[in-house]
Structure 1
């Protein structure tokens, strides 16, 4: 969601560090709708066919968390093993590009995992209070 479309944190809701940019802060108008849309963007499209996930966003957050965590574990395992498993199969520049891709994907997934945890907590009614 473009920054211009989001209320500033603190006006209609305050979001903790690591809150996804695509999700309005808790308490802002339509924040839960933006949370559900963002969570669905993280999971396979087939998840949309499960009525229970549409009905219970907190369960969708759980599924999204499991999915993102599995992806993060896979990226970490790939980063650790690609040099050994594909030694001699890729030219050095391709191996370096693969390592960079694993690093970027790991960073993206780690941020998504943190965001899912924060959104899931907010969907369960937990509110973040900034420390002064």
Structure 2
């Protein structure tokens, strides 16, 4: 677990995001969440100005990426040979998909943590 002056962060807390409660932490959180989305989403003020919506959309985006990786992983051996892809390339792609699935899992856990912290901050600001 990563320690800060006042709290211990989960190992899934993204290193690009400052700890909740520190100066500008929410700005680093919003930037990190935006970076997880396709660039075109950065042009939508509705997403970029509302932390809860941004976190939700990042989570949905990651869920779709996970589905895509699972399909790619499950169909590689059946579909790639017919496309003329060499066996060694197929095996390398399978390893790549497996690694990417692990990475997407870590990112999803990080989005959940950051989103929860942003929501808690918003709740604390309400009168």
TM-score (norm 1): 0.83
Alignment of 1:8-87 (within 5 A): 9-87=3-81
- 3-state SS of paired residue (2:70): helix
Q: Which runs of 5+ in 2 are unaligned?
A: 122-127
Gaps of 5+ in 1: 1-7, 127-132
**What does residue 107 of structure 1 align with?**
102
Q: Is the 8 A contact 1:18 1:115 kept in 2?
A: yes
Mapped to 2, the partners of 1:56 and 1:67 lie a distance apart of: 16
Q: Alpha carbon RMSD of aligned pairs, Å?
A: 1.5
- Conserved 8 A contact 1:14-1:26: no
Q: What is the TM-score with the length of structure 2 in the denominator?
A: 0.86
Q: 1 or 2, which has the higher helix percentage?
A: 2
